[in-house]
Structure 1
Amino acid sequence: MAISLTQQEKLILKTVNIPPRPQALLQFSEEAKLQEPNITKISDILQSDVAISAAILQVVNSAAFRRSREIDSIEQAVMVLGLKRLIPLVKAVALKSSVDLPAALSDFWETQSDIGQHASAICNRLNRPALANHAYMLGLFHGVGIPILCQHFDDYQNVLDKAQTDGWTEASQFEFAQYHTSHGTIGALLAQQWRLPKIVINVIYYQHDVDGILTSGELDSIGNDLLSILKIARHKSYLATTPVSEQNPEWQVIKDDVMDYLDISDEELDELWGESSE
């Protein structure tokens, strides 16, 4: 599927700044996809970017790895993490350092990171472990168009307010009516430029066009899996900050479709909420 742009949208997008891939990420990606990547070369590339190397050392020395001695070498860290875990981490750090956040979105990356972690955990709980890395990247990247548009349009706070009260499914329609583009399109274009997997790009693009999406054929089965997992992860994140008694408008729109698609009951969904935090 190609990202579809109207003529008006193409004109608008000429004025919107979509950050290019950082040079370190470009070099890292080229080396990592080789049949026999050179670990020393990868380490040198990562060390050239202070933000990326600092984040890698922070992760590898975190409680999750339970190491008796602190690792202070990027090459050691690469060996401990392995490329499979390193690739989404490097992309995550590069994204955060490339996209400026306005004051109105001060907790944006924390929320996106939570959604990514929930999505990855949900993949395992649903016996879809092969999708975990894609789900994490989707969770992190899916909303990146929001800060980009917020920086570009002075009155974008109106969209954020709409999302707060009516949910992003409604707010995305309001967003398009106001600006003739959407954060889903912007996010998909960035993901495309950053060479994310095509299926992740597609789900970012369709994330709020949810009316019948799981049966329309617009996405393949993996795309439907990832979209369903993203919606569950977003609702999980919503529940962590909002009283359970309040309804999440975005979740209410697609809840039945997601549960039918995944063939899960309310009880199984309740179990999933708790388990995805573990």
Structure 2
Amino acid sequence: MDAQAINRELDAARYAGPVKDIVIPPCPQLLVQLQQELALADPDPHRVAAIAGSDVAMAAGLIRVANSSLYARKEPVASAAQAVAMLGVRPTATLLTSFLLRNSIRIDPTLIEHFWESSTRRSIAMAHIAGQMYGMDVEIAKTCGLFFHVGIPIMLQGVRGYSGTLVEAMARQDRTFIETENAAHRTDHAVVGAIVAKTWRLPTVIVLAVRLHHDFSVLEDDTVPIAVRNLVAIAAIADHLVAQHEAIEVQREWQRYGERCMAFLQIGPAEVEAWVDVLYHPFESVVVT
């Protein structure tokens, strides 16, 4: 599926298909302002700090992350401006996007606290793996990690019976998670998540990767941009690393497609095993703001 075909599919699902009755959170105005700043040739850190500081909870969350053990600073930061100066503009933007995403979904946070922790770990893992690959955009990978499964809480919030579908999807051995979702609701979290990413005007590469992240046939499809295929392969490895850390039994997707994803990225099992150790502390240091 090329970009145009996927865009047509998402529009059809959003406005005429099964997704039309699901409430998709609008892009927050603060994110619109942030995207406008990032679109400039030379984004102003002071402007990014001002956007972060315009919401007390968001600023506090940013400072909390900057002062976490993940960064091991000797002197704590005390303001959004200091946090931006320490983290950098684009990493700050990713953190703010994560905050705005979580706070845009109106669902009891205690029900999905672990979901956000796992999403944050996936984001960290994808950024780390992307950093080992030549020419890959680390912040794009990090943002993808946050959005890949965002369709799940959106569907929990707006689709009757989806909580039962989740339980069934995780238990079934005869079909995939996506197949179970589609059997029950005629759509799935990859489609819904891609619609969120598109609604929020995220880069096209993220929209496509979110839509295709469970479709491993794209690894051999030259019509799909290489950056998207890289993200699909990286996501599978990242999910495996998170599952290892959280002591979750080996996932069916990893058993079926893990070797293909590693081969596509030209890495071996030894590297993946080494990343389990490298990422232990960052995973343990996850702070959900």
Asked if the contact 1:51–1:93 (Cα under 8 Å) also holds between the matched residues in 2, the reply is no
Please, which of 33, 42, 60 is the counterpart of residue 54 of structure 1?
A: 60
Asked if the contact 1:118–1:277 (Cα under 8 Å) also holds between the matched residues in 2, the reply is no
- Find the counterpart in structure 2 of residue 31 from structure 1: 37
* Counterpart code for 1:252: Q
- Equivalenced residues, count: 274
Asked if the contact 1:122–1:276 (Cα under 8 Å) also holds between the matched residues in 2, the reply is no
Structure 2 spans left out of the alignment, 5+ residues:
282-289
SS in structure 1 at match of 2:176: helix
> Is 1:250 the equivalent of 2:253?
yes
Asked if the contact 1:169–1:208 (Cα under 8 Å) also holds between the matched residues in 2, the reply is no
Percent of aligned pairs sharing the same letter? 28
Please, which of 92, 114, 117 is the counterpart of residue 121 of structure 2?
A: 114
Deviation at 1:267, TM superposition (A): 2.9
- Find the counterpart in structure 1 of residue 205 from structure 2: 199
SS in structure 2 at match of 1:12: coil
Deviation at 1:128, TM superposition (A): 3.8
> What TM-score comes out, normalization by structure 2 length?
0.85
> What TM-score comes out, normalization by structure 1 length?
0.88
Name the CA distance, whole Å, in 1 between partners of 2:280 and 2:135.
16
Residues 1:52 and 1:227: Cα distance change in structure 2 (over 3 Å): same
- Find the counterpart in structure 2 of residue 87 from structure 1: 93
* Counterpart code for 2:153: P
* Counterpart code for 1:220: P
Deviation at 1:176, TM superposition (A): 1.2
Name the CA distance, whole Å, in 1 between partners of 2:29 and 2:13.
31
RMSD: 2.4
Give runs of aligned pairs for residues 1-278 of structure 1, distance below 5 A.
1-2=3-4, 3=6, 4-5=9-10, 10-102=16-108, 104-124=111-131, 126-128=132-134, 130-166=136-172, 170-210=176-216, 212-242=217-247, 246-277=249-280
Deviation at 1:227, TM superposition (A): 0.9
Asked if the contact 1:167–1:250 (Cα under 8 Å) also holds between the matched residues in 2, the reply is no
* Counterpart code for 2:213: Q
Residues 1:46 and 1:268: Cα distance change in structure 2 (over 3 Å): closer
Name the CA distance, whole Å, in 2 between partners of 1:167 and 1:48.
48
Structure 1 spans left out of the alignment, 5+ residues:
none
Deviation at 1:159, TM superposition (A): 2.2
Name the CA distance, whole Å, in 1 between partners of 2:73 and 2:64.
12
Please give the per-residue CA displacement for 1:98-144, whole angstroms capped at 9, x wherever unaligned: 113355433110110011111111223x3347332111111111100
SS in structure 2 at match of 1:18: coil
* Counterpart code for 1:116: S
Deviation at 1:175, TM superposition (A): 0.7
* Counterpart code for 2:229: N
